[in-house]
Protein backbone atom coordinates (compact mmCIF):
# COMPACT_ATOMS: atom_id res chain seq x y z
CA UNK A 1 0.00 0.00 0.00
CA UNK A 2 1.24 3.44 -0.87
CA UNK A 3 1.22 5.53 2.32
CA UNK A 4 2.01 9.12 3.19
CA UNK A 5 3.42 10.16 6.54
CA UNK A 6 1.46 12.60 8.69
CA UNK A 7 2.21 14.01 12.14
CA UNK A 8 -0.55 14.03 14.76
CA UNK A 9 -1.10 16.99 17.04
CA UNK A 10 0.68 15.11 19.83
CA UNK A 11 3.81 14.81 17.69
CA UNK A 12 3.47 11.08 16.93
CA UNK A 13 4.01 9.95 13.33
CA UNK A 14 1.22 8.00 11.68
CA UNK A 15 0.54 6.80 8.16
CA UNK A 16 -2.54 7.02 6.00
CA UNK A 17 -3.23 5.43 2.64
CA UNK A 18 -2.91 7.62 -0.42
CA UNK A 19 -5.41 7.60 -3.32
CA UNK A 20 -3.92 6.47 -6.65
CA UNK A 21 -5.13 6.41 -10.23
CA UNK A 22 -7.15 3.28 -10.84
CA UNK A 23 -5.16 2.17 -13.89
CA UNK A 24 -1.95 2.38 -11.82
CA UNK A 25 -3.49 0.18 -9.11
CA UNK A 26 -4.64 -2.41 -11.66
CA UNK A 27 -1.24 -2.44 -13.32
CA UNK A 28 0.59 -2.85 -9.99
CA UNK A 29 -1.65 -5.82 -9.17
CA UNK A 30 -0.86 -7.59 -12.43
CA UNK A 31 -4.33 -7.19 -13.92
CA UNK A 32 -3.16 -5.47 -17.10
CA UNK A 33 -0.81 -2.82 -18.41
CA UNK A 34 -1.92 0.76 -17.79
CA UNK A 35 -3.06 1.03 -21.41
CA UNK A 36 -5.10 -2.17 -21.17
CA UNK A 37 -6.44 -1.12 -17.77
CA UNK A 38 -7.74 2.13 -19.30
CA UNK A 39 -9.54 0.07 -21.95
CA UNK A 40 -11.09 -2.15 -19.26
CA UNK A 41 -12.33 0.90 -17.38
CA UNK A 42 -13.90 2.37 -20.53
CA UNK A 43 -15.60 -0.98 -21.19
CA UNK A 44 -17.24 -0.83 -17.76
CA UNK A 45 -15.45 -3.92 -16.45
CA UNK A 46 -14.03 -2.17 -13.37
CA UNK A 47 -16.05 -1.05 -10.34
CA UNK A 48 -15.23 0.94 -7.23
CA UNK A 49 -17.53 0.25 -4.28
CA UNK A 50 -20.00 -1.36 -6.67
CA UNK A 51 -20.17 1.62 -9.04
CA UNK A 52 -18.68 1.50 -12.56
CA UNK A 53 -15.37 3.34 -12.55
CA UNK A 54 -14.54 6.23 -14.87
CA UNK A 55 -11.27 6.92 -16.63
CA UNK A 56 -9.00 9.09 -14.48
CA UNK A 57 -10.72 8.09 -11.25
CA UNK A 58 -8.63 7.40 -8.15
CA UNK A 59 -9.13 4.84 -5.41
CA UNK A 60 -7.66 4.07 -2.01
CA UNK A 61 -6.44 0.56 -1.34
CA UNK A 62 -7.75 -0.80 1.94
CA UNK A 63 -10.70 1.58 1.96
CA UNK A 64 -12.28 1.23 -1.47
CA UNK A 65 -13.57 -2.08 -2.83
CA UNK A 66 -12.22 -2.58 -6.34
CA UNK A 67 -13.52 -5.34 -8.61
CA UNK A 68 -12.71 -6.42 -12.16
CA UNK A 69 -15.32 -8.43 -14.08
CA UNK A 70 -17.25 -8.67 -10.77
CA UNK A 71 -14.28 -10.32 -9.02
CA UNK A 72 -12.57 -8.53 -6.09
CA UNK A 73 -9.08 -7.24 -6.81
CA UNK A 74 -6.66 -9.85 -5.50
CA UNK A 75 -3.51 -9.07 -3.56
CA UNK A 76 -0.46 -8.42 -5.70
CA UNK A 77 1.55 -11.52 -6.64
CA UNK A 78 5.30 -11.85 -6.56
CA UNK A 79 6.74 -10.10 -9.63
CA UNK A 80 7.17 -12.29 -12.70
CA UNK A 81 9.11 -11.44 -15.86
CA UNK A 82 9.00 -13.65 -18.93
CA UNK A 83 10.09 -13.58 -22.57
CA UNK A 84 7.87 -15.08 -25.26
CA UNK A 85 8.80 -15.71 -28.88
CA UNK A 86 5.47 -14.62 -30.33
CA UNK A 87 4.46 -16.49 -33.50
CA UNK A 88 2.50 -14.83 -36.27
CA UNK A 89 -1.27 -15.17 -36.05
CA UNK A 90 -1.69 -14.08 -32.41
CA UNK A 91 -2.87 -10.67 -31.19
CA UNK A 92 -0.99 -8.98 -28.36
CA UNK A 93 -3.76 -8.34 -25.88
CA UNK A 94 -5.23 -9.95 -22.77
CA UNK A 95 -8.55 -10.61 -24.52
CA UNK A 96 -10.00 -10.05 -27.98
CA UNK A 97 -13.60 -9.13 -28.72
CA UNK A 98 -13.28 -10.65 -32.21
CA UNK A 99 -12.38 -14.07 -30.83
CA UNK A 100 -8.89 -14.15 -32.33
CA UNK A 101 -6.06 -16.09 -30.70
CA UNK A 102 -4.20 -14.00 -28.12
CA UNK A 103 -0.69 -14.39 -26.75
CA UNK A 104 -2.21 -15.20 -23.35
CA UNK A 105 -3.05 -18.69 -24.60
CA UNK A 106 0.69 -19.30 -25.02
CA UNK A 107 1.57 -18.44 -21.41
CA UNK A 108 -1.23 -20.19 -19.51
CA UNK A 109 1.30 -22.40 -17.74
CA UNK A 110 3.12 -19.44 -16.16
CA UNK A 111 0.91 -19.96 -13.11
CA UNK A 112 0.46 -16.24 -12.36
CA UNK A 113 -1.55 -13.68 -14.27
CA UNK A 114 0.70 -11.56 -16.48
CA UNK A 115 0.12 -8.99 -19.23
CA UNK A 116 2.10 -8.10 -22.38
CA UNK A 117 4.40 -5.08 -22.46
CA UNK A 118 3.70 -3.12 -25.62
CA UNK A 119 2.44 -4.76 -28.79
CA UNK A 120 3.41 -6.78 -31.82
CA UNK A 121 0.74 -6.80 -34.50
CA UNK A 122 -0.97 -10.03 -35.52
CA UNK A 123 1.28 -10.61 -38.53
CA UNK A 124 4.53 -9.87 -36.67
CA UNK A 125 6.50 -12.13 -34.39
CA UNK A 126 9.50 -12.28 -32.12
CA UNK A 127 10.48 -10.98 -28.71
CA UNK A 128 7.57 -10.05 -26.45
CA UNK A 129 7.88 -9.41 -22.72
CA UNK A 130 5.09 -10.17 -20.24
CA UNK A 131 4.97 -9.31 -16.55
CA UNK A 132 2.72 -8.47 -13.60
CA UNK A 133 4.96 -5.54 -12.60
CA UNK A 134 3.41 -2.29 -13.81
CA UNK A 135 6.39 -0.07 -13.08
CA UNK A 136 8.75 -2.43 -14.91
CA UNK A 137 6.36 -2.43 -17.88
CA UNK A 138 6.41 1.36 -17.99
CA UNK A 139 10.22 1.47 -17.93
CA UNK A 140 10.47 -0.98 -20.84
CA UNK A 141 7.69 0.54 -22.95
CA UNK A 142 8.05 4.31 -22.52
CA UNK A 143 10.36 5.98 -25.09
CA UNK A 144 11.87 8.28 -22.45
CA UNK A 145 13.75 5.29 -20.97
CA UNK A 146 15.55 4.63 -24.28
CA UNK A 147 14.94 0.89 -24.44
CA UNK A 148 15.67 0.64 -28.16
CA UNK A 149 13.93 -2.16 -30.04
CA UNK A 150 15.47 -3.94 -33.04
CA UNK A 151 13.50 -5.72 -35.75
CA UNK A 152 14.61 -8.09 -38.47
CA UNK A 153 12.52 -7.20 -41.51
CA UNK A 154 12.37 -9.09 -44.81
CA UNK A 155 11.14 -6.68 -47.47
CA UNK A 156 10.12 -6.72 -51.11
CA UNK A 157 11.67 -3.99 -53.24
CA UNK A 158 14.88 -1.99 -53.20
CA UNK A 159 16.07 -2.73 -49.68
CA UNK A 160 19.39 -0.93 -50.03
CA UNK A 161 17.72 2.31 -51.08
CA UNK A 162 15.15 1.93 -48.30
CA UNK A 163 17.93 1.53 -45.74
CA UNK A 164 19.43 4.87 -46.80
CA UNK A 165 16.07 6.67 -46.73
CA UNK A 166 15.11 5.21 -43.36
CA UNK A 167 18.12 6.81 -41.67
CA UNK A 168 16.50 10.20 -42.28
CA UNK A 169 13.39 11.68 -40.59
CA UNK A 170 10.11 10.33 -42.02
CA UNK A 171 6.64 11.83 -41.64
CA UNK A 172 4.08 9.19 -40.59
CA UNK A 173 0.55 9.95 -39.40
CA UNK A 174 1.48 13.62 -38.80
CA UNK A 175 4.40 12.55 -36.63
CA UNK A 176 8.11 12.61 -37.47
CA UNK A 177 9.97 9.36 -36.81
CA UNK A 178 13.54 8.31 -37.45
CA UNK A 179 15.28 4.98 -37.04
CA UNK A 180 18.16 4.98 -34.58
CA UNK A 181 20.00 2.47 -36.74
CA UNK A 182 19.35 0.66 -40.02
CA UNK A 183 21.50 -2.16 -41.36
CA UNK A 184 21.17 -3.76 -44.77
CA UNK A 185 21.62 -7.43 -43.86
CA UNK A 186 21.38 -9.39 -47.12
CA UNK A 187 19.87 -9.55 -50.58
CA UNK A 188 16.93 -11.87 -51.27
CA UNK A 189 15.22 -12.83 -54.51
CA UNK A 190 12.41 -10.32 -53.93
CA UNK A 191 14.38 -7.62 -52.10
CA UNK A 192 16.42 -7.91 -48.94
CA UNK A 193 16.60 -8.11 -45.16
CA UNK A 194 16.95 -5.04 -42.94
CA UNK A 195 17.71 -4.69 -39.24
CA UNK A 196 15.86 -1.62 -37.98
CA UNK A 197 16.31 -0.13 -34.50
CA UNK A 198 13.79 2.38 -33.15
CA UNK A 199 13.13 4.09 -29.83
CA UNK A 200 9.37 4.39 -30.22
CA UNK A 201 6.72 1.73 -30.73
CA UNK A 202 3.93 3.50 -32.57
CA UNK A 203 1.14 1.52 -34.18
CA UNK A 204 2.60 -0.45 -37.13
CA UNK A 205 5.52 1.97 -37.20
CA UNK A 206 8.04 -0.32 -38.92
CA UNK A 207 5.57 -1.30 -41.65
CA UNK A 208 4.65 2.34 -42.28
CA UNK A 209 8.33 3.39 -42.37
CA UNK A 210 9.03 0.68 -44.93
CA UNK A 211 6.05 1.71 -47.05
CA UNK A 212 7.20 5.35 -46.95
CA UNK A 213 10.60 4.22 -48.25
CA UNK A 214 9.18 2.24 -51.16
CA UNK A 215 9.35 -1.34 -49.86
CA UNK A 216 6.71 -3.72 -48.47
CA UNK A 217 7.16 -6.00 -45.47
CA UNK A 218 7.12 -9.75 -46.07
CA UNK A 219 8.07 -10.84 -42.54
CA UNK A 220 8.77 -8.85 -39.40
CA UNK A 221 10.38 -10.17 -36.22
CA UNK A 222 11.52 -8.28 -33.12
CA UNK A 223 14.91 -9.62 -32.08
CA UNK A 224 15.93 -7.39 -29.16
CA UNK A 225 14.73 -4.91 -26.54
CA UNK A 226 17.51 -2.89 -24.94
CA UNK A 227 20.28 -5.35 -24.08
CA UNK A 228 17.88 -8.32 -24.12
CA UNK A 229 18.07 -10.57 -27.19
CA UNK A 230 15.59 -13.16 -28.42
CA UNK A 231 18.34 -15.70 -29.00
CA UNK A 232 17.41 -19.29 -29.84
CA UNK A 233 14.00 -19.36 -28.12
CA UNK A 234 11.61 -21.14 -30.50
CA UNK A 235 8.32 -19.57 -31.68
CA UNK A 236 5.45 -20.18 -29.26
CA UNK A 237 7.72 -20.87 -26.28
CA UNK A 238 8.53 -18.69 -23.26
CA UNK A 239 11.10 -18.53 -20.47
CA UNK A 240 11.68 -16.55 -17.28
CA UNK A 241 14.14 -13.67 -17.45
CA UNK A 242 17.21 -14.00 -15.29
CA UNK A 243 17.76 -11.53 -12.47
CA UNK A 244 20.61 -10.00 -14.49
CA UNK A 245 18.32 -9.52 -17.49
CA UNK A 246 15.64 -7.86 -15.37
CA UNK A 247 18.16 -5.48 -13.82
CA UNK A 248 19.67 -4.61 -17.20
CA UNK A 249 16.21 -3.53 -18.44
CA UNK A 250 15.56 -1.47 -15.31
Distance, CA of 22 to CA of 115 (rounded, Å): 17
Cβ(57)–Cβ(20) under 8 Å?
no
> Which helix H or strand E contains 17, and what residues bound it?
strand 13-17
* End-to-end Cα, the chain, rounded Å: 22
**CA distance readout (Å), 59 to 6, 22, 91, 184, 185:** 19, 6, 31, 50, 51
Question: Which residue out of 10, 70, 109, 121 is catalytically annotated?
Answer: 121
158 has catalytic annotation: no
**Nearest-angstrom CA–CA distance, 223 and 241:** 15
A 10 A CB-CB count for 133 gives: 22
User: Catalytic amino acids?
Assistant: 121
Amino acid sequence: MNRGKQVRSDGINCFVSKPERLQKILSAHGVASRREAEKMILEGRVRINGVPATLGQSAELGLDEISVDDLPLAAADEPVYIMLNKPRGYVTTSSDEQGRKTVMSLVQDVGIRVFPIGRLDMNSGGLLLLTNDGEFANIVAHPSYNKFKTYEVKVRGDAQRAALLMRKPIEIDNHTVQAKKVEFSKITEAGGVLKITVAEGRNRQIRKMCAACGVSVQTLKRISIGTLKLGSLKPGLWRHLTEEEVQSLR
